Amino acid sequence: MIRCVRRSAAFSLLLLAALPVQAARVQLVDAGELDRNPANRRGAIARYAVPRGEILAGGRPVTGSRDTGQQLRFERVYREGPLYAPVTGFSSQTYGTTMVEDAEDAMLSGADPALASLPLWRDLSRSRPAGADVATTVEPAVQRAAFTGLGGRRGAAVAVDPSTGRILALVSSPSYDPGVLSGTGRAAREAWAELNARPTQPMLNRAIRQTYPPGSTFKIVTAAAALDAGVVTDADAPTGTPSPYVLPGTRTRLPDASPGCGDASLAYAIQWSCNTVLAHLGTRVGAEGMRQAVTRFGFNDPGLRVPSPVVPSNFDTDMSADQLALSSIGQFDTTATPLQMALVAAAVANGGELRRPYLVDRITSGNGTRTLAHGRRYAARRAMGPLTARLLRELMVRVVEQGTGAAAALPYATVGGKTGTAQHGLGNSGVPYAWFISWAQAHDSARPGVAVAVVVEDAEAVRGHISGGGDAAPIARAMMAAALTVPSPD
């Protein structure tokens, strides 16, 4: 009997000794694998146990949280969801996060260690602090002007502050309500399927995730390259370019849509958008010179984030002479995001200095008592010489005051612009894209306050009447008017 008791006691002691060993193994060895196991919902439960921090535009929240009383307790809601969806993205318990919701997810969800005043206690208690608030640089009036102007047509519009890089508006159209994707139920799944099935792709962020042939708006880049390289020393002197212009090494004749382009000057070519002059100048600058110029403007940069990643705008680095000529007027394989073309206008407006764009202004604790981070800002880099920028400003003003961009004029501001109508598709069979890039400086201001790019994919006009000046310039005008009424943060 005593022997049995001793054996039972020894076995119990062995089990007691094994228990902490097993607990330590689970905590130290298996913890990572268990956390990654899809069947483990502790992480998700903790993630949605507290309300998510807010995203702000113009100092006001454009997001919120709804207490569902379910295991995944708080769901995201959006105020004016379609208006701000290209900025906020969505936060879904089923489909993850996008845009600012994704880029600042750790702060918004309360997972970032910077939010814990006592990090060690947080690790021991496994508690999660309230999410931080993320203030964006978006100005609601400018955002609304772009959204209203596009009116549901496919396209995008971007506005930036040339002197700082603050993104004042980021609109993609048509848009969607991100709130319909927040939950886990049947409604969210059906909404996801329906949005993805639409041919208009409302969840595609056309402002930063879609590139287009920039058409004649790209001529500003080529003009800057020609002036900086000394290929053109007098903007009003004839360039010796015939119209039509036979592309180098081919028999293909490049025509002009405007009269008077034969042997035109650079100034006339910008004002009336002569293809021949800028194509010829691109070949005179040469492939390497053009490659260096577009790099200074930000083309072919795969690392741009605002903080969401931006697809790189493209200018080929290996081309024949005829391809270089077409690329120099925004055709062939040259493509750009609307954000990229807004930066081109901004560099001209800012004396040739290009500010890296950013969308997050600051991050604060949920109660607003602590500023946790400021939006990442970078030193300006020079896209063109200051004299080149000054001359291009004058030429862009002529476009609005005397040329193809008259629809962008404002009575109380100096406005510079450039129109573009971009052919695309097999044999240029697609409906042309209407482009307009511009900047504006109020008469009582010391510097331009806004630079804008607008692209309209499906302009409401017969094919032959589609133009950047007619379809995109009025939207840019409304955005610039709204931006110039916003008090400067400086």
173 is catalytic: no
Rounded distance, CA 339 to CA 313, Å? 9
The packing angle between helices 338-349 and 219-228, to 10°, is 40
The rounded distance, in Å, linking the Cα atoms of 158 and 149 is: 12
Q: Which amino acid is at 179?
A: G
The half-sphere exposure of 187 on its side-chain side, counting CA atoms within 13 A, is 7
Alpha-carbon gap, residue 217 to 424, rounded angstroms = 15
How far apart CA 346 and CA 394 sit, in angstroms, is 14
For the chain, the residue count is 490
Helix axes 275-285, 287-297, angle to 10 degrees: 100
Q: Is 59 exposed, middle or buried (0-12, 13-18, 19+ CB in 10 A)?
A: exposed
Question: What is the rounded distance in angstroms from the CA atom of residue 461 to the CA atom of residue 261?
Answer: 26
Q: How far apart are CA 63 and CA 79, in angstroms?
A: 6
CB-CB contact of 484 with 413 (8 Å):
yes
Q: How far apart are CA 120 and CA 276, in angstroms?
A: 68
Residues 408 and 477: beta-carbon distance below 8 Å: yes
CA of residue 137 relative to chain centroid, distance? 13
User: What Rg do the C-alpha atoms of the chain give, in angstroms?
Assistant: 28
3 state SS of 232: coil
The residue from 173, 182, 216, 273 that is catalytic is 216
Residues 6+ apart with CB under 8 A from 56: 62, 133, 134, 135, 136
Measure the CA–CA gap between 436 and 313, rounded to whole angstroms. 17
Catalytic (active-site) positions: 216
